[in-house]
Structure 1
Amino acid sequence: MEPEVREFLKRVSMSLGIGLFWMILNSTFGIMFDFAFIHDSVTVGNIVFYIWFIASFAFLLWFIVRLWKKPINTGG
């Protein structure tokens, strides 16, 4: 396989993997553990979850932009 294609597929798989892991993690804590929903009042768990959600989303975007800004190594 060509090195450029290998590098491209590595970036695609890394982006998809990290993105899916982020979604699974936040879905689990938000929906299954009920931190994403505000029922009667705002709890500490809701606040911590939403702070984590925003901070981790910013880090995810930063990571993906940094990953795709690097030029593809052509090997030549």
Structure 2
Amino acid sequence: MSQMEDDVKDFLKRIVWTVSSGFLWLTLTIGIGAYNDWLVPEHSVSIGNIIFYIWMAGTLAALIYMYSRIWKKKFPHG
């Protein structure tokens, strides 16, 4: 059995979920954009760049919403 209190366990779980989901989002977004040359427009903006940036903004909004859901619960104080 764990010797940790439930509040500490919950706090550490929130931190791990926040960091890992943010890193996963960042890795996937940069990986997809760089692999398909959509991350930085070369000579002009193409339809692929536009779709990629719309997708990136939408998934970033979803990630921020997920963060707000994770951190919404208040911790008991003292």
- TM-score, normalised on structure 1? 0.86
1:31 is displaced (CA, Å) by: 2.0
Cα distance in 2 for partners of 1:45, 1:70 equals 39
Question: Aligned partners of 1:9 and 1:22: how far apart in 2?
Answer: 20
Structure 2 match to 1:38: 41
Measured against aligned partners, the alpha-carbon deviations of 1:22-74 in whole angstroms (never above 9, x if no partner) come to 000011012232111111222121011100111111111111011101234x7
Q: How many residues align?
A: 73
Aligned residue in 1 for 2:10: 7
TM-score normalised over the length of structure 2: 0.84
Q: Alignment RMSD, CA only?
A: 1.3
1:1-76 to structure 2, matched below 5 A, reads 1-72=4-75
Gaps of 5+ in 1: none
> Larger RCO: Structure 1 or Structure 2 (Cα < 8 Å, ≥ 6 residues apart)?
1
Structure 2 residue runs without a partner (length 5+): none
More helix by share: 1
4+ residue runs of structure 1 moved beyond 4 angstroms? Answer: none
